[in-house]
Structure 1
């Protein structure tokens, strides 16, 4: 496994575009700290975003993993480009000639996906921990390390999404088309959800759409903004209330893991079938 990873990271690091995207991705993750400096001036109301509790433990685990997930597209580009380069540069054929089996080839790509997901999760853990220790009003050990299931959900979400991108890279062979297909699939899921909701109701639409790949990944970490005390207070003042389940559930993780397995299996089956 170490040898397979070394091969992949040598390829990635020697590719200038991939190197820039990887570095940019981790730099952007650190920009989450900029939320602490954002000030709002609404009439005579002045407040700093960090003062609203976004960096309080354990809420910070929910907030930061949700925000960080938006940056995953940077690594998605790296992954689909990684596969398109294999075809355009014919390195995939050369690797197989040099003795690498198709199973080992897919394993090397999947291990790269796992490493990206692990490093991203650890990085967010460290950034969140540092921000929380600086800005959180609650620093008890039991509070700091509660709700860490959001980090597990973040890891699984990245693993599933990057596996989907890997499959698209193998299926389409061209990075631009693979990313275009990814966008089209997102649109398809949105239209499908809208049609089901139109014909039935929101509960049935949610129950069905939760099994679609991108929707399943999105469900792992729900939006955290309505949890903020400021939002809850405004809602109460206008006679509204948020009753929402923000938790991470085992069946949601299982659905994404099943999709991850399916994407990797289909990637291998497709590669095995093709005459390279």
Structure 2
């Protein structure tokens, strides 16, 4: 396993564009800390984001994993480019000639996906912990370490999404086309398929079907946390509405994304196995 990871990290280290994207990805996650510095002074009105409770435990786990998951496209570019370079630079064929099996090749790519997902999760955990300890109104141990399931959901979401990107990279062979296919699938899933399902079974019943689609299931792992703001709830209450949104991470949703991850990795291997390289 270590040998396979070593091979992939050497390839990534020698790829200038890949290194730049990886650094940019983690730098942007780090920029979440800058939210604390946002402050508006308009006459007698002072607004400081850090004073609004956005960094309170355990809410911070939900907010930061949601924001960080929106940045995953940066590493998605690295994944599809990584596969495209294997074809364009002939390193895939050379690896197979040197004795690496196709199963080991796909395993090395999945280990890379797993490693970066784990590193990203640990990075978000440390950043959120530091921000929370600095700005949270609640610092009891039981509160700090509650709702950590959002980190698990974030980890599973990254693995699932990056596995999808890996499959597209194997399928299309060109990074630009793979990313184009990813965007096309997002549009199809959120517009064409959604409206088709609405038309066939109705809007309410369609949600039970849509939750099984790959990108939709990944999106459902971490629901938007903005409506949990006290200010948002107050505004909703003022207009006479009641908000009963379920923000929890459910095991069934983790299982769906985990199943898609297995499917994408298997399809990547099956596709590579059938190809004459």
TM over 0.5: yes
CA deviations on 1:187-226 (whole Å, 9 max, x unpaired) are 0011111332355443212111000000000000000000
Paired position in structure 2 for 1:9: 9
Paired position in structure 1 for 2:55: 55
Q: Is 1:185 aligned with 2:177? A: no
1:131-150 aligned at under 5 Å gives the runs 131-150=131-150
Q: Is 1:31 aligned with 2:31? A: yes
Paired position in structure 1 for 2:84: 84
Given the superposition, is the C-alpha separation of residues 263 and 43 from structure 1 closer, same or farther in structure 2, using an over 3 Å criterion? farther
Paired position in structure 2 for 1:112: 112
Gaps of 5+ in 2: none
User: Could you tell me how far apart the structure 2 residues matched to 1:205 and 1:41 are?
Assistant: 46
User: Could you tell me how far apart the structure 1 residues matched to 2:219 and 2:235 are?
Assistant: 26
Aligned length: 276
User: Could you tell me how far apart the structure 1 residues matched to 2:43 and 2:260 are?
Assistant: 49
Given the superposition, is the C-alpha separation of residues 45 and 241 from structure 1 closer, same or farther in structure 2, using an over 3 Å criterion? farther
User: Could you tell me how far apart the structure 2 residues matched to 1:40 and 1:251 are?
Assistant: 42
Gaps of 5+ in 1: none
Paired position in structure 1 for 2:154: 154
Q: Secondary structure at the match of 2:71?
A: helix
Deviation at 1:34, TM superposition (A): 1.1
Given the superposition, is the C-alpha separation of residues 165 and 240 from structure 1 closer, same or farther in structure 2, using an over 3 Å criterion? same
Paired position in structure 2 for 1:95: 95
User: Could you tell me how far apart the structure 2 residues matched to 1:203 and 1:133 are?
Assistant: 41
User: Could you tell me how far apart the structure 2 residues matched to 1:200 and 1:181 are?
Assistant: 27
Q: Secondary structure at the match of 1:46?
A: strand
User: Could you tell me how far apart the structure 1 residues matched to 2:254 and 2:107 are?
Assistant: 22
RMSD across aligned positions (CA): 1.3
Q: Secondary structure at the match of 1:47?
A: strand
Q: Secondary structure at the match of 2:55?
A: coil
User: Could you tell me how far apart the structure 2 residues matched to 1:215 and 1:49 are?
Assistant: 30
| Greater shift in the superposed pair: 50-59 or 152-161 | 50-59
Deviation at 1:69, TM superposition (A): 0.5
User: Could you tell me how far apart the structure 1 residues matched to 2:264 and 2:130 are?
Assistant: 35
Deviation at 1:43, TM superposition (A): 8.1
Deviation at 1:62, TM superposition (A): 0.2
Deviation at 1:42, TM superposition (A): 7.1
CA deviations on 1:148-199 (whole Å, 9 max, x unpaired) are 0000000000000000000000000000000000000000011111332355
1:245-264 aligned at under 5 Å gives the runs 245-264=246-265
Deviation at 1:242, TM superposition (A): 1.2
User: Could you tell me how far apart the structure 1 residues matched to 2:197 and 2:39 are?
Assistant: 41
After TM superposition, the runs of 4+ consecutive aligned structure 1 residues lying more than 3 A away are 40-46, 198-202
Paired position in structure 2 for 1:238: 239
Deviation at 1:45, TM superposition (A): 4.1
* TM-score, structure 2 as length reference: 0.97
Q: Is 1:196 aligned with 2:193? A: no
Paired position in structure 1 for 2:67: 67
